[in-house]
């Protein structure tokens, strides 16, 4: 009887050792796959449509025109007061956005990096890193 019990213990130890090896092998495979996985890409910015051609007609002049003049211009937030958010993201050099809604809430994370016009009139640039918030209303 002692022989059977020690035989069962030996089989249990072997089974545990095999199970342990399988677990280690699975962890190694998962680790190798994780190391070889491609790096996640940051979300690509959505293109902002270029403004329409500039004319002297008041109807063609946007309420707000924004152009990024630095490599990164910080977050630009534009929305219809109490309504839809039209833009809420960082702009990159050369990106432009224009809006013709009658009234807009605008927040610029770094006003020094942007060219901003309200009803065709340039706003003075801010100091580097200066946050500006204003309401733009369509004239005419």
pLDDT in tens, 16-65: 788 777 777 777 776 667 666 666 666 655 555 544 333 334 558 999 99
pTM metric for this prediction: 0.58
Higher pLDDT, 30 or 69: 69
Q: Among 75, 109, 122, 121, which Cα is nearest to 95's?
A: 75
Instruction: Quote the DSSP letter at residue 82.
Output: T
47-83 CB burial, b ≥16 within 10 A, e <16: ebeebeeeeeeeeebbbbbbbbeeeebbebebbeeee
Q: What's the rounded Cα separation, in Å, for the pair 126 and 129?
A: 8
pLDDT at 65: 97
Helix (H) or strand (E) holding 72: strand 72-79
User: How many C-alpha atoms does 79 have within 13 Å on its Cβ side?
Assistant: 10
pLDDT given for residue 88 in this prediction: 96
Residues in the chain: 140
23-27, 107-111, 112-116: segment of lowest average pLDDT: 23-27
The pLDDT assigned to 54 comes to 35
């Amino acid at each position: 009887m002692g022989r059977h019990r020690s035989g069962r213990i030996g089989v249990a130890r072997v089974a545990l050792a095999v199970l342990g090896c399988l677990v280690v092998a699975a962890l190694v495979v998962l680790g190798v796959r994780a190391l070889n996985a491609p790096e996640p890409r940051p979300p690509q910015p959505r293109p902002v449509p270029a403004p329409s051609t500039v004319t002297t007609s008041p109807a063609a002049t946007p309420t707000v025109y924004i152009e990024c003049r630095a490599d990164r211009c910080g977050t630009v937030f534009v929305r219809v007061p109490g309504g839809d958010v039209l833009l809420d993201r960082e702009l990159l050099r050369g990106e432009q956005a224009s809006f013709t809604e009658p009234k807009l809430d605008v927040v610029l994370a770094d006003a020094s990096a942007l060219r901003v016009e309200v009803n065709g009139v340039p706003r003075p640039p801010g100091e580097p890193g200066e946050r500006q918030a204003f309401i733009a209303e369509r004239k005419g």
